[in-house]
Amino acid sequence: MVLELTEDLKTGVEEMDKDHQMLVDYLNEVYTLLKEGKKEQAIRIFKEELLHYVNWHLTREEKFMEAIGYPEFERHKKAHDMFKKVILDLLPKVGSGDVEAFRESLALSWGWLAGHIGKVDKKYGEYAREKGLI
């Protein structure tokens, strides 16, 4: 199943939507590698590239929300922190080849895209539009 950044997942903030598209691309790359039986390569991409990018993006998104005075910033940041903690707790298991931990990490990441971006991130885009900031 390939994921797409459909209109219902877009925030309307161009740079954040580009970041989200990159996250989708990474997840799709991992999925394709797994489908092709290239598990070690998929794990490497997930651990070394995707998670680094996620951390970079979340920091960038938090700076954006602070810059626009987004009133839900603290709550939003807590959601980011919880996601990072869960993924970081699973990472050593993923690195040691634990298939279940890798599967759980991927499921969390896919769910995060659909649930967090589609519902939570959209709100800062709406806020920025209402305030005439974008």
Half-sphere exposure of residue 41, counting CA atoms within 13 Å on the CB side?
A: 11
Give the pLDDT of residue 94. Answer: 86
Amino acid letter for position 122: K
Please answer whether residues 11 and 17 qualify as being in contact, where contact means their C-beta atoms are separated by less than 8 angstroms: yes
Give the pLDDT of residue 109. Answer: 87
Tokens of 62: 């938090």
Chain centre distance of CA 97:
22
Tokens of 29: 């790359």
Q: Class of 12-130 per CATH?
A: mainly alpha
Residue 9 to residue 6: CA distance in whole angstroms: 5
Give the pLDDT of residue 103. Answer: 87
Half-sphere exposure of residue 7, counting CA atoms within 13 Å on the CB side?
A: 0
Residue 106 to residue 16: CA distance in whole angstroms: 21
Q: What is the pLDDT along the chain (134 residues), one digit of tens a residue?
A: 677 888 888 999 999 999 999 999 999 999 999 999 999 999 999 888 888 898 899 999 999 999 999 999 999 999 999 998 888 888 888 888 888 888 898 888 888 888 899 889 999 999 999 999 88
Give the pLDDT of residue 32. Answer: 94
Residue 87 to residue 105: CA distance in whole angstroms: 6
Give the pLDDT of residue 10. Answer: 93
